[in-house]
Amino acid sequence: MKKKSRFARYSFQDKALLVVGYILLGLFVVAIVIPMIYIIVASFIDPVTLQNKGITFDFSKWTLTAYERVLSNAQIWIGFKNAVIYSVVFTFVSVLITMLAAYPMSRADFRGRKFFNVIFVITMFFGGGLIPTYLLISNLKLLDSMWAIILPGAFSVWNMIIARTYYQGIPGELREAADVDGANEMVFFFRILLPVCTPIIATLSLWQFVGMWNSYFDAMIYLNDSAKQPLQLVLRSILIQNQPESGMISDMQSTAERAQLAELLKYATIIISSLPLLVMYPFFQKYFDSGVMAGSVKG
């Protein structure tokens, strides 16, 4: 007997229900994709046409001027460079410290485990708040230093719990085998345990990298020096505060021309700044589920 597809086995009512469901899902996908395509196309349109008519597929109205102007701006590149440095350093420090701390916390024989757990978990729900933290950073002389945005968030209790749960799912024989060889904790951790934790390391790294790359609050309050600002702050002045970086539009004669050009530059800025993550993330997709699963199991 030929096996029928799952859809064919549904009753008429179920089929109708499913079709409605699929249409809803389709609409959601369209609602995501259409704005993105609009932005991509709009970034190539001549500024006057864009303001009066929106996008067009009359290619005589297309231009690369927005990209030339944005990419030739030094502040954008400084922002990119800083964002890469901050995100890479933050990801490395954060994942290392979190994976390290999760190891003793995962061991049933670890003395003081309950005590340390309470110490950590309290900070998930209660904290000093904005001003006391700001005063601390200021007293530590960390204002305008990259460590002000890296250290305070480097240890994430939530990620530690996820890593701990992951360790606990690893068979105990691995450790027994290592003990026979007389390996000490460090050797066991780096040589034997970490290599079997690649999925969770990849997941946490992705979260931390994306989190740092996309945030702006800490940088806004702690970094005033424009040479130290990450990309998101540069974007903020262009996209939110309507203040294109100097030189981007200053050669235009009239205010109207400048306003039109500033609007066009926003589209190109969005594309240029979002491209790196949007291109990278599909390569990590296989780790999403494993990481989330590890997190959904209560530790």
Partner 1 sequence: MSTSTKKKDAGLHNSLVYIVQHWQLYVIFLLPALALTIIFRYIPMGGILIAFEKYNPIRGILGSEWVGFKHFSRFLSSPDFLSYLGNTLKLSVFGMLWGFPVPILLAFLLNRIESKGIKKKIQLCLYMPNFISVIVLCGIVRIFLSVTGPVNLLLGTQINFMTMPEAFRTIYIASGIWQGAGWGSIIYTAALSNASTELKEAAVIDGANIFQQIKAVEWPAIKATVIIQFIMQAGNIMSIGFEKAYALQTDLNMASSEIIATYVYKKGLLDGDYSFSTAVGLFNTVINVILLVAVNKIVAKMNDGQGL
Span 144-183, contacts to partner 1 by CB under 8 A: 151-152, 154-155, 157, 160
CB of 55 to partner 1, least distance (A): 8
Contact 269, 70 (CB under 8 A): yes
Footprint (CB under 8 A) of partner 1, residues 57-96 = none
Q: Taking the complex as a whole, how short is the minimal distance between the CB of residue 60 and partner 1, in angstroms? A: 20
Q: What is the dihedral of CA 193, 194, 200, 203, to 10 degrees?
A: 180
**How far apart (Å, rounded) are the C-alpha atoms in residues 118 and 287?**
30
Asked if residue 287 binds partner 1 (CB under 8 A), the reply is no
Residue 146 DSSP SS3: coil
Given the complex with partner 1, which of 25 and 74 has the nearer CB atom? 25
Binding track over 220-259 against partner 1, x by CB under 8 A: -x----------x--xx-xxx-------------------
Could you give the residue ranges of the DSSP H alpha helices within the chain? 12-42, 47-53, 65-71, 74-106, 113-125, 130-139, 147-150, 157-168, 173-180, 185-187, 198-214, 217-222, 231-235, 255-280, 285-296
For residues 240 and 237, what is the distance between their CA atoms, to the nearest angstrom? 6
Closest contact distance (angstroms) between CB of 38 and partner 1 is 6
Tokens of 207: 């979260």
CA distance 79 to 92: 20
Contact 89, 243 (CB under 8 A): no
From candidates 62, 120, 143, 194, binder to partner 1 by CB under 8 A? 120
Q: Helix axis angle, 198-214 relative to 255-280, nearest 10°? A: 170
User: Which range of residues in 11-19, 66-74, 193-201, 245-253 is near partner 1 by CB under 8 A?
Assistant: 11-19
The CB-of-171 to partner 1 minimum distance in angstroms stands at 20
Residue among 40, 48, 88, 100 that touches partner 1 (CB under 8 A): 100
Q: Which is nearer to partner 1, 65 or 113 (CB)?
A: 113
Of 69-77, 110-118, 174-182, 248-256, the segment contacting partner 1 by CB under 8 A is 110-118
Output the CA torsion sign for 51, 57, 61, 66.
positive
Size of the residue set binding partner 1 (CB under 8 A)? 97
203-222 positions binding partner 1, by CB under 8 A: 210, 213-217, 221
Which residue in the set 44, 90, 103, 167 belongs to the binding site for partner 1 (CB under 8 A)?
A: 103
